[in-house]
Amino acid sequence: MSKKDVTFVNRIAPRKFKSSILSWNQLDVLWEWLPDTIYIKEPLIAFCSDENGNSLRTFYSLCGDNEPTIILIKTIKNQIFGAFCSSSWSKRLEGNNRGQFFGTGQTFLFSIYPRIVKYDWVGKFKNANHLSPSQQLFISAKNDSFSIGGGGGHFGIYIDENLSRGETHRCDTFENEPLTNDDPYFDSILSPPSVCVFIKFHSEHSKKVFI
């Protein structure tokens, strides 16, 4: 199974990293899921729709070269979920990646509220020789949308070019349940602090950040 429910954590997220979306306990859960080489690094906000606007083009310009990143989405129903993206978004511009999927098996989906669950890549639990192409669709970044996970006719997460509307469905890459509780179609626009946030990581300590 690619599903991982968390009931306790051993890691503590950096307390300089203050969040108006997640509580400390929720941040600690998220940090528990990060790869060992990443969670020790300093997190920084690469893009926040409250501050940088609702433009996918702006997001690409601010986040393109960052690797890895965390997508954090809060909907109008206060549901919080997202994805850990192991590859830089600038890879969308490389050769055969244009209009195609890219990324690695470290990518995963998660839900923080109201459910706490992580969905790893199915390739971590199956023989790589037995994987179908639809089980290896990690990240797609186009001019009018981006998506995480694919296969089975659906995306794990899909967001439009205005970072305002999206979908979450079961997909072959992660064999996940939809990350929202009811309607798979969601709206991420609200007055602050509801945002679409992209977190990058830096190996050196830096200024305080707020989300």
Residue 192 resides in a domain: yes
Can you read off the two tokens belonging to residue 156? 């794990």
Q: Which domain holds residue 35?
A: 13-123+131-210
Spatial separation of the C-alpha atoms in residues 211 and 194, rounded to whole Å: 9
Residue 1 resides in a domain: no
Q: What are phi and psi of 14, to 5 degrees?
A: -55, 125
Are 190 and 32 within 8 A, CB to CB?
A: no
Work out the burial of residue 116: count CB atoms within 10 Å of its CB; fewer than 13 is exposed, 13-18 middle, 19 or more buried: middle
Q: Which pLDDT does position 3 carry in this prediction?
A: 64
Q: Given a cut of 80, is residue 26 above it in pLDDT?
A: yes
Can you read off the two tokens belonging to residue 64? 């393109």
Higher-scoring residue by pLDDT: 64, 131: 131
Residue 178 resides in a domain: yes
Are 187 and 204 within 8 A, CB to CB?
A: no
Higher-scoring residue by pLDDT: 209, 178: 178
- Tally of structural domains, the chain: 1
Spatial separation of the C-alpha atoms in residues 179 and 164, rounded to whole Å: 16
Residue 157 resides in a domain: yes
Q: Which pLDDT does position 207 carry in this prediction?
A: 36
Tens-place pLDDT, residues 74-88? 888 889 999 999 998
Residue 4 resides in a domain: no
pLDDT band at 194 (very low <50, low <70, confident <90, very high): very low
Tens-place pLDDT, residues 105-163? 999 999 999 999 999 999 999 888 889 999 999 999 999 999 999 999 999 999 988 88
Can you read off the two tokens belonging to residue 209? 């950040």
CB atoms within 10 A of CB 179: 28
